[in-house]
Amino acid sequence: MRALWTSQTDDAITTELTELDDSVLHDDERAPGDVIVDIEYSGINYKDGLAIMGRPGVIRNYPLIPGIDLVGTIASIDTSATDAADAEPRFAVGDPVIVTGWGVGESFHGGLAERARVKSEWLVPLPSTISAARAAAIGTAGFTAMLAVLALERSGALEAEGPVLVTGAAGGVGSIATLLLSRLGHSVTASTGRPEQSGYLRSLGASDVIDRSELSAAGRPLQKQRWAAAIDAVGGATLANVLAQTNYDGAVASCGLAQSADLPTTVMPFILRGVKLLGINSVLAPLPLRETAWARLARDLDLDALDSLTTTVPLEAAIDQAALILEGGVRGRTVVDVRA
């Protein structure tokens, strides 16, 4: 099978497109599951860009097939490895499925290949109204954006008046978060470091676009209240400023660290304004929450608009796309057609 293969030597971490024997998916701790999936599409997330381009901290088990997303159909199920007491298995051969998270592409062989071996409990059924290509376009980025929206809804912050801020808005999470929030009737302010993308963000439904420089420098622990809620994919001083500017009883969903993993803030937004900081973990989200999120994506996401923010490339171009995403040269989502 064709696959990207990321390996580590004393000198460097490198990724190449190669032909692998199917044995790589058997008797290997990096492929621990009971289900073989024939992959149709994967994607390039920011985390994939880091892994493919040799940045440490993503892949934990070299050598590895990268790719934290995969969409395809079940080719086989090893029933000897499943629970014999399960009288009604969740899946059958031929079922279309989605895998995101669970360490795929980090600790376990991922989606940038023609096949993968995964655990059945990692699988989510592909919604009937979403094609395989569109599911890959949603991927971890869109799934994370939906988890953030769900968390804000549970907090009650989206019921309040005022704009909802999305940081890193031209990226994958930010683009789909903007689409979702605007489709749900919220006034969205998009923050981006790429002013040339203002028209693009407005086409996704943003009511206003601000430069990230308004938020990225160190600021006071409490500032003028501006946002009913926010989805932040940036972290660092940006997240600190967003918290300082969030309205009384508002909430911020934190799902990324493109600027920094640090959070230089104080307790003041939390104890003086009742601001809630909601952590979003898409990797280990439980199955019921995953199914809820994908059902909501099928219902609430404008799929035609999703197409407009999606670029599709063949597997052989995935390495170049990984470099571009780290350079800030990619907007929206990149889908990899692993069969092309």
Q: How confident is the model at residue 202 (pLDDT cuts 50, 70, 90)?
A: very high
The two three-digit tokens of residue 216, written as one number: 């990225």
Region 195-202: what's the mean pLDDT?
95
pLDDT score of 199: 96
Percent with pLDDT over 90 in the chain: 90
Q: Is the pLDDT assigned to residue 5 strictly greater than 90?
A: yes
Query: Average pLDDT of the chain?
Result: 95
pLDDT score of 27: 72
pLDDT score of 317: 97
pLDDT score of 34: 94
Q: Is the pLDDT assigned to residue 87 strictly greater than 70?
A: no
pLDDT score of 85: 45
pLDDT score of 80: 76
pLDDT score of 153: 98
The two three-digit tokens of residue 61, written as one number: 């088990």
Q: The whole model's pTM is what? A: 0.94
pLDDT score of 81: 61
74 bridge partner residues: 37
pLDDT score of 83: 53
Region 324-340: what's the mean pLDDT?
93
User: Long-range pairs for 93-97 at CB < 8 Å and ≥24 separation?
Assistant: 95/125, 95/126, 96/71, 96/72, 96/125, 96/126, 96/132, 97/37, 97/71, 97/72, 97/73, 97/123, 97/124, 97/125, 97/126
The two three-digit tokens of residue 238, written as one number: 């940006």
Percent with pLDDT over 70 in the chain: 98
Looking up tokens 């934990």 gives 60
pLDDT tens digits, one per residue of 135-189 = 999 999 999 999 999 999 999 999 999 999 999 999 999 999 999 999 999 999 9
pLDDT tens digits, one per residue of 38-83 = 999 999 999 999 999 999 889 999 999 999 999 999 999 998 765 5
Q: How confident is the model at residue 84 (pLDDT cuts 50, 70, 90)?
A: very low
pLDDT score of 11: 81
Region 190-206: what's the mean pLDDT?
95
Domains and CATH numbers, the chain: 2-126+309-337 (3.90.180.10), 141-279 (3.40.50.720)
